[in-house]
Amino acid sequence: MSTLAPEPVPATEAPHPLDPLTVTELAAAVTVLKADTRITEDARFWGVALDEDHARRAVPGDPRRARAVVICPSAHIAYEVALELGDKPQSTAWRELDVRSPGCSSEEARQAAAMCRADPRFREALALRGIHDVSLVMVDPESIGGFEPPEYPGRRLTWGSVWHRTSEDDNGYARPVQGVVPIIDMESMEILHIEDHGIVPLSEESGTFGAGVVPERTGLKPLEVVQPDGPSFTVTGQRLDWQGWSVRVGFSHREGLVLHDLTFDAAGKGPRQVIRRAAVNEMYVPYFDTASTQYRKNFFDWGEYGAGPLTNSLALGCDCLGVIQYFDAAVLGGDGVPRLIPNAVCVHEEDDGILWKHHDGRTGRTEVRRSRRLIISAFATVANYDYGFYWSLYQDGSVMLEIKMTGILSATGVTEDEETPYARRVAPNVAVTNHQHFFAVRLDMAVDGTDNRLVEVTAEPEPDPDLNPYGNAARTVLRPILNEAEGARSTDPSRALHWRVESTEARNRMGEPTAYRVHLENTAVLPVREDSVCARRAPFVARQLWATAYDPDRRFVAGEYPNQAEPGADGVHKWQEENRSLDGTDLVLWATIGSHHFPRPEEWPVMPVAKARLRLEPDGFFDRNPALDVPAPVSCHTPKQPSSATPTDHCCG
């Protein structure tokens, strides 16, 4: 295993406009903001993001632009600030925000937890439960959207989930402190009041895991990934080139890993556009329990916390195998201090089994090719849960997003005789509530250019008995989605429903529009009442696909600022009402991957990876299989042999 250094951009060449913001640029942005008299001494920051729309229109020499979000607690206000970076950084526009709108930074969360541990009322509640060393108490400030106490109008609030460790190395998430709920003012950093719903015994079973704690199994032999000639991809700055694919690796405060400008060049005929931008745009996690420490749980993990600062620094040999290319990422802390996340994004190749194969039973000849994929990945940790985002590019022109869910389940404390209709026991005095994970994936499509349309495809039985005398005829029915009012779509496996993104300009050799097909493998829907907070806060999860015309100001599926927003006041479901044309336009898809989580004891105390996937496949984009030219593996021979012959060691398949 080894790592590569990217080929540097020549010193005379400016960074690409879509490159992620640097530590230097983030520091310059903070300097500009702090110099303005509107910014108070106690200012907190919720990220600085590249103005990508401007970046796409910029010409060489143009200064880069960004947007910053600043919270001024003592002034009870927040700002969204447009910035111009470059030789003379400056602010160019200011917009006042409701102080409750921005999300919570990790620095704010740590400050709130420390404040709780110092509060005498909180200490007293812990002492009643036999907890006296408050240094071992964990408090996670949780978003409170939809459940704000009416006695605290207009205040920026969270509520605290409380956990207890028996030692510094203990897994605190295995010992929930049930019944104690501090309501926290995040501006004044004080506990407004503490709900106490009664004492539940703490679990006495250790939930600690890891090296040196659990005896390791034996008999596992080394498995090494060896690439003696190096990888097949090349890296120039933030650009990757591999097997016809070209893509730029980006990064943002809100979404973390971002891919820009995906193009494919088949057989050296020139690059063709596929996707302008792809990212996991939002993650919504609702819980389905009425318990005192559970009923409020419904989180916009990106819109209320942000994927960028929660991104892990990846380790060679653990997170990625083979010859690795890493990309670092710069993020801004809530305290206004920029920091670099080393190895935030990993790039590597993997063998992916059989790409295509046929054995001729008459001649005994076998042709087989092995598939290889390029994986661009990042991991983010949101308190107890860990999420991996793996974008894979394939030699046949396909793209797959695989989301890996692992980490520690969010548990609740229960008594031994307590009924748990909405949760499942995983350990003594510990249960885990049924919940879901929704991942909204934003795909700014560009299939052979930005003039695209969406077409829904289904399999329908032929209704005309004269045309269907045997009853087995089924048509492929194409339904163009021509405007935004029709752009909210749902899956239907019974009709093999899927979608095509077609070019309205380009045609293949059969005269059909070139296109890419969209598949969703995980399509859970909310099992709650329509008047519930969950359903009202996240209307986008009601459909598996939304289609809109591109708008630079409509960047996030649940709206720009979902934290403590009026449920359903903004988001893709509202944008549909404008009913703009989707025929031959710059088309943006918002795909919703939904995974229902029925907890299992086998997922405790740490959860084996569960996966959710989205796949895009060329559908008439090429005239024939674009992977015909993939060479046979050097270890694979295809001798002629009788079909009844005994297979040999050297024949792949």
Catalytic residue numbers, as ranges: 301, 385
In the chain, count of helices (H) and strands (E)?
7, 32
User: Residue length, the chain?
Assistant: 653
- CB count, 10 Å around CB of 180? 27
Kind of pairing between the strands at 323-332 and 2-4 = parallel
Collapsing DSSP to helix, strand or coil, 269 comes out as: coil
Structure tokens at 429: 């005095």
Query: Which residue blocks in 207-328 are alpha helix, DSSP H?
Result: 301-304
Q: Are 330 and 21 in contact (CB under 8 A)?
A: yes
- Residue 532 CA to its chain's centroid (Å): 25
Q: What are the DSSP E strand ranges found in 470-606?
A: 474-481, 488-489, 498-507, 513-520, 545-549, 587-597
Provide the b/e sequence for 316-343 (b: ≥16 CB within 10 Å).
beebbbbbbbbbebbbbbbbbebeebeb
Tokens linked to 390 = 């793996």
What would the DSSP string read from start to end of 555-567? Answer: --TT-S--TTPPT
CA distance 461 to 471: 8
Strands (E), 64-217: 65-72, 77-84, 90-97, 137-143, 157-164, 180-185, 190-196
State the Rg of the chain over Cα. Answer: 27
Three-state secondary structure of 183-211: EEECCCCEEEEEEECCCCCCCCCCCCCCC
Report the alpha-carbon distance of residue 261 to residue 629 in Å, rounded: 24
Find how far residue 181's CA is from the centre of its chain: 29
Long-range contacts of 12-15 (CB under 8 A, 24+ apart): 14/60, 14/61, 15/237
Strand pairing category for 498-507 and 513-520: antiparallel
Separation of alpha carbons 90 and 31, rounded Å: 9
